[in-house]
Chains A and B, each alone.
Chain A
Amino acid sequence: MIDAFIFKALIAGIIVALVAGFMGCFVVWRRMAYFGDSLAHSALLGIAMGVMLNISHNLAVMISSICFAVFLVWLQKKRVFATDTLLGILAHAALAIGVITITLLEQRIDLHGYLFGDILTVGDEQLWWLGIGGGFVIIALALNWSSLVLMTIHEDLALAESVRVPRLEILLMFLMTIVVAVSIKIVGILLIASMLVIAPAAARQLARSPEVMAICACLIGSISVVSGIYFSFEFDTPSGPTIVATLAAFFAILFPLSNFYRKN
């Protein structure tokens, strides 16, 4: 018999792996890794706000992430600093202010849990958030799949073939905010970007079409989550980092294949 809390952890982890598998492909293809990482950093401020206003941290993080994205796009339009500089400023400012706010709050908050995830304390409410949010992300990506792939290969070509590129770019940003919001509990603020990047990067070595890459990324992510939870139990290690370490091991094993596939 598996204990209920392990069962919930497994379900939650697998959902995160599936969502990250699909979303992560676009993160890798469109170089959004730093954007995802920054969104996650800024989420701590959202969590602090959520505690202050006494609302669900999922909702609070989504709201703060959307504000973050809007603010970023506004600054990008000014064309004064490169995007990575802006992200560096915004993300760490938000993280710093978030930590200060949480320290000043009267309530005790498990900062460690938010930074590195705490998959074993996933509750029913969190599972609902994951299921609905994650399902929405996967369906939205699947419905716009070819258009997204085409605009990733060549934006002007997509525009000329009446793909609504600006709208889809906003959609991708919005989906990222959902992914970050619902998976913080599982892998933590500092490790979300790794879920989004490592599994698709490992899958790249096996795939020759965009869809196969996404499916391989989901599989690799799911296997890593399940074995990561097992290892964390077996060796009494923190679950989030153990999952990410397992993912990294996958990548390391598959990486030598890249030389072979580059030629094919």
Chain B
Amino acid sequence: MTDIISASNITVTRDNKDILDNVSISVNSDDFITILGPNGAGKSMLLKCLMGFYKPEKGIINRAPNLRIGYVPQQFLSEQTLPISTKRFLTLRKKVEEEEIKKIADETNIKSLLEKPLHVLSGGERQRVLLSRSLIGNPELLVLDEPAQNLDISGQLAFYRLLERIYQSRSLSILMVSHDLHMVMATTKKVVCLFHHICCSGEPQIVTKDPEFVSLFGNDMAEMMAVYQHGHNHTHEGHTHD
């Protein structure tokens, strides 16, 4: 296991406030890390620093040379006045073979959408299209910024299932900002809790018991997670039902 991307002690200051305060994080090959934190905690900023489109005031970002990163942004509202087909959007500014598009379209189930205009797609379809675009060029790291934020529950579930399938079938790492921890609990290997500084990090089961996690998200959230994990462990430990 080697670091493919890491931040060491980075600090980002805006309007005299530390958005990120001495944050360190590293992503190994084959990692699946979910960053969790309240709104305005600096999660997106951390992603921006890692991907190199914002330079932190202090600290160092290390990326493996020629690291191929695929980025899946938050939901977008497609401008109806700009006519563009899904396929054209996928290949915009990218050199990509017809074969690869077909393969990815199969993987993400967007084959029937390729010829449709982008602006008629539903929220879930758009997220799959954005995910597909990020997969072009066989990335080693996928960075996702609240990818399922505006989807309904079933849409979120479907999206995370797809992401899990992709994580298992391709050899790539995933770094994701998400509020839907309960959705990714089973897949994510590591949770990083961010509130300007890193409050706690580790396996999801451990993090949810951390006092800092409880103080950040309140007892309800922690308990909800605990219930979920109980159900999760249940099958593993082979308890019999009452």
The residues of A with any CB-CB pair to B shorter than 8 Å are: 28-29, 146-147, 149-150, 152-154, 156-157, 159-163, 201, 204, 207-210, 212-213, 261-264
Contact = CB atoms under 8 A, between A and B. Distances in A.
B163 interface: no
Given A153-B76, A160-B53, A210 B71 contact: no
A19 to B, nearest CB: 19
B74 interface: yes
A153 B84 contact: yes
Contacts of B230: none
B82 A152 contact: yes
Given A146-B92, A156-B74, A208-B117, A28 B85 contact: no
Contacts of B88: 209
Contacts of A212: 83
B102 to A, nearest CB: 20
Contacts of A161: 71, 93
Contacts of B118: 153
23 contacts: A28-B81, A29-B79, A29-B81, A29-B82, A146-B92, A149-B92, A153-B82, A153-B89, A156-B145, A157-B73, A157-B76, A160-B51, A160-B69, A160-B143, A161-B71, A201-B81, A204-B83, A208-B83, A208-B117, A209-B85, A213-B82, A261-B83, A263-B120
Given A152-B82, A163-B93, 13 more contacts: A28-B81, A29-B81, A146-B93, A153-B76, A154-B76, A156-B145, A157-B71, A157-B133, A160-B143, A201-B81, A210-B83, A210-B84, A213-B83
Contacts of A213: 82-83
Contact of B93 (A150, A210, A262): A150
B79 A204 contact: no
A154 B73 contact: yes
A262 B120 CA distance: 8
A213 B93 CA distance: 19
A160 B73 contact: yes
Closest 3 CB pairs of A and B: A160-B71, A156-B73, A146-B93
Interface in B113-131: 117-118, 120, 130
A210 to B, nearest CB: 6
A159 B79 CA distance: 18
Contact of B53 (A29, A153, A159, A264): A159
Given A153-B76, A160-B73, A207 B53 contact: no
Contacts of B76: 153-154, 157
A160 B44 CA distance: 12
B145 to A, nearest CB: 8
A210 B117 CA distance: 11
A210 B7 CA distance: 39
B78 interface: yes
A210 B85 contact: no
Contacts of B81: 28-29, 201, 204
Contacts of B130: 157
A149 B51 CA distance: 22
Contacts of B117: 208, 264
A173 B87 CA distance: 30
Contacts of B71: 156-157, 160-161
A154 B32 CA distance: 25
A34 to B, nearest CB: 15
A210 B39 CA distance: 36
A149 B74 contact: no
Contact of A150 (B74, B78, B92): B92
A116 to B, nearest CB: 28
Most buried by A among B83, B118, B143: B83
A149 B118 CA distance: 13
Nearest to B118: A153
Interface in B200-222: none
A36 to B, nearest CB: 15
Contacts of A209: 83-85, 88
B79 A149 contact: no
Most buried by B among A146, A161, A263: A161
Contacts of A262: 80, 120
Contacts of A204: 81, 83
A156 B143 CA distance: 12
Contacts of A159: 53
B82 A149 contact: yes
A153 B77 CA distance: 8
Most buried by A among B78, B89, B92: B92
Contacts of B92: 146, 149-150, 153
